């Protein structure tokens, strides 16, 4: 089923402009996002063709089937509570049956976790993103050799330096374990015994050093230390970093780089929006989608604040949320009976009207 199918078959119950334009946080380059609710024809709902969601390929347009909408509403999902409380001037179409769903029947203390909890998750992501931007990893991947050192006097030098200094290639060397010493190896080399050792690594894709069979009468010329833990961490960081590069939104990344504060400012703006909404829900028992503090939030998006400053401000808001939560009179969670009742009522009425 496609979005056009929903419209052609008059299955839409609610259609709204969502995202930044609903929040009042749009700028000249903002896209127009749409969210809504639809209802499946009776035969599809009762049969094997239940479809919980219909969206376009970029998720700029998302419509939830009535059951899925009520399920998420019952879970106090922020996107769904915002959709239900969309400002009137952003509602494109609303079927009268949608008036049976009252926001106050679904608000609960769970909003602390779904709004503020999600915001805290984004703050943690912001920390990780800040690290990625501030510490880029070269595309050319390092090998085990870059994490090997030769013990020299009271210190050490890199294996690369040692090989260059002694005009030796790693392929000409041989290693054996030194008993009771983790990741420490005796290194062997003899100019008159070429191609008898296995080398330090097999190739650039090796995951560990390789050992050779060394006659007992031979003496090592050096002791090699392999920082295996450092190499494993580097491989993990490398994979995560370049996976992030491939998947990142380039427009948002360029915006992040342009203001020079090394955090995803758009994401941080929405983090503060969620924290503010959590305060209002727990304190005032209302969901205010349109934000009155547009200027402050856009300053965050524009990179007007330092990263550490925003983290402090976020922690202060979280403390306020915890204080309000302790005396909040909202129920612990929505009443499942009410959720089921309104779901069944709307579906029955719709199917009766469309027989």
The CATH number covering residue 2 comes to 3.30.460
> What rounded mean pLDDT belongs to the chain?
90
Give yes or no: residues 348 and 259 share one domain: no
Per-residue pLDDT tens over the stretch 314-345? 999 999 999 999 999 999 999 999 999 999 99
Give yes or no: residues 23 and 40 share one domain: yes
Say what percent of the chain tops pLDDT 90: 69
Q: Is 223 helix (H, G, I), strand (E, B) or coil?
A: strand
Residue 340 counted as domain residue: yes
Angle between helices 307-327 and 265-284 (to 10 degrees): 20
Residue 67 counted as domain residue: yes
- pLDDT score, position 246: 76
- pLDDT score, position 132: 63
Give yes or no: residues 100 and 114 share one domain: no
Residue 49 counted as domain residue: yes
Residues 6+ apart with CB under 8 A from 59: none
Which of the listed residues 211, 234, 257 is the one where a domain comes to its end?
234
Give yes or no: residues 296 and 275 share one domain: yes
Average pLDDT, stretch 302-322?
90
Number of domains in the chain: 3
Q: Is 280 helix (H, G, I), strand (E, B) or coil?
A: helix
101 and 80 in contact (C-beta within 8 Å)?
A: no
Domain encompassing residue 301 = 107-136+249-331
Give yes or no: residues 205 and 348 share one domain: no
Give yes or no: residues 150 and 203 share one domain: yes
Q: Quote the tokens at residue 174.
A: 């041989």
Report the alpha-carbon distance of residue 12 to residue 287 in Å, rounded: 23
Helix (H), strand (E) counts: the chain: 14, 10
Give yes or no: residues 37 and 3 share one domain: yes
Q: Which of 229, 257, 18, 7 is nearest to 132 (CA)?
A: 257
The structure tokens 């700028």 sit at 27
Residue 131 above 70 pLDDT? Answer: no
Which of the listed residues 188, 203, 234 is the one where a domain comes to its end?
234
Give yes or no: residues 96 and 111 share one domain: no
Residue 321 counted as domain residue: yes
Q: How many residues does the chain have?
A: 355
Q: Quote the tokens at residue 263.
A: 């955090």
318 and 275 in contact (C-beta within 8 Å)?
A: yes
Residue 165 counted as domain residue: yes
Question: pTM for the full model?
Answer: 0.68
Give yes or no: residues 165 and 226 share one domain: yes
Give yes or no: residues 125 and 67 share one domain: no
Residue 167 counted as domain residue: yes
Residue 263 above 80 pLDDT? Answer: no
Give yes or no: residues 279 and 253 share one domain: yes
DSSP state letter for 32? P
Residue 240 counted as domain residue: no
Report the alpha-carbon distance of residue 149 to residue 106 in Å, rounded: 62
Exposure letters 6-43 (e unless 16+ CB within 10 A, then b): beeeebbbbbbbbbbbbbbbbeeeeeebbbbbbbbeee
Residue 16 counted as domain residue: yes
Give yes or no: residues 157 and 178 share one domain: yes
Q: Which of 298, 310, 268 is nearest to 30 (CA)?
A: 298
Task: Give all strands (DSSP E) within the chain, no chain letters.
Answer: 12-18, 33-38, 53-55, 61-65, 91-94, 148-152, 155-158, 174-177, 184-188, 222-226
Exposure letters 277-290 (e unless 16+ CB within 10 A, then b): bbbebbbeeebebe
Q: Which residues pair with 36 in a beta bridge?
A: 15, 63
Residue 195 above 90 pLDDT? Answer: no
């Amino acid at each position: 089923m496609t979005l056009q199918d929903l419209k052609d078959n008059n299955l839409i119950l609610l259609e709204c402009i969502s995202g930044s334009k609903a929040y009042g946080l749009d700028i000249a380059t903002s896209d127009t996002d749409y969210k809504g609710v639809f209802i499946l024809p009776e035969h599809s709902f009762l049969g094997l063709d239940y479809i919980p969601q219909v969206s376009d390929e970029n998720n700029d347009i998302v419509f939830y089937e009535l059951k899925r909408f009520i399920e998420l509403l019952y879970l106090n999902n922020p996107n769904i509570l915002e959709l239900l409380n969309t400002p009137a001037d952003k509602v494109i179409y609303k079927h009268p049956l949608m008036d049976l769903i009252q926001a106050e029947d679904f608000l609960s203390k769970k909003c602390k976790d779904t709004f503020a909890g999600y915001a805290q998750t984004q703050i943690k992501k912001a920390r990780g993103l800040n690290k990625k931007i501030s510490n880029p990893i070269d595309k050319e991947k390092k090998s085990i050799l870059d994490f090997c050192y030769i013990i020299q006097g009271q210190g050490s030098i890199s294996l690369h330096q040692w090989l260059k200094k002694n005009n030796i290639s790693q392929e000409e060397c041989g290693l054996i374990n030194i008993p009771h010493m983790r990741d420490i190896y005796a290194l062997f080399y003899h100019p008159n015994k070429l191609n008898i050792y296995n080398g330090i690594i097999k190739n650039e894709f090796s995951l560990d050093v390789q050992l050779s069979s060394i006659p007992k009468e031979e003496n090592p010329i050096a002791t090699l230390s392999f920082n295996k833990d450092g190499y494993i961490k580097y491989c993990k960081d490398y994979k995560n970093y370049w996976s992030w590069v491939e998947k990142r939104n380039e427009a948002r990344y360029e915006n992040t780089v342009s203001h020079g504060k090394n955090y995803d400012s758009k994401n941080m703006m929405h983090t503060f929006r969620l924290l503010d909404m959590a305060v209002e829900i727990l304190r005032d028992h209302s969901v205010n989608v349109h934000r009155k503090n547009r200027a402050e939030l856009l300053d965050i998006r524009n990179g007007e604040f330092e990263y550490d400053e925003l983290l402090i401000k976020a922690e202060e808001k979280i403390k306020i949320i915890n204080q309000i939560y302790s005396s909040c009179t909202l129920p612990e969670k929505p009443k499942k009976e009410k959720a089921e009742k309104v779901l069944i009522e709307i579906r029955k009425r719709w199917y009766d009207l469309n027989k």
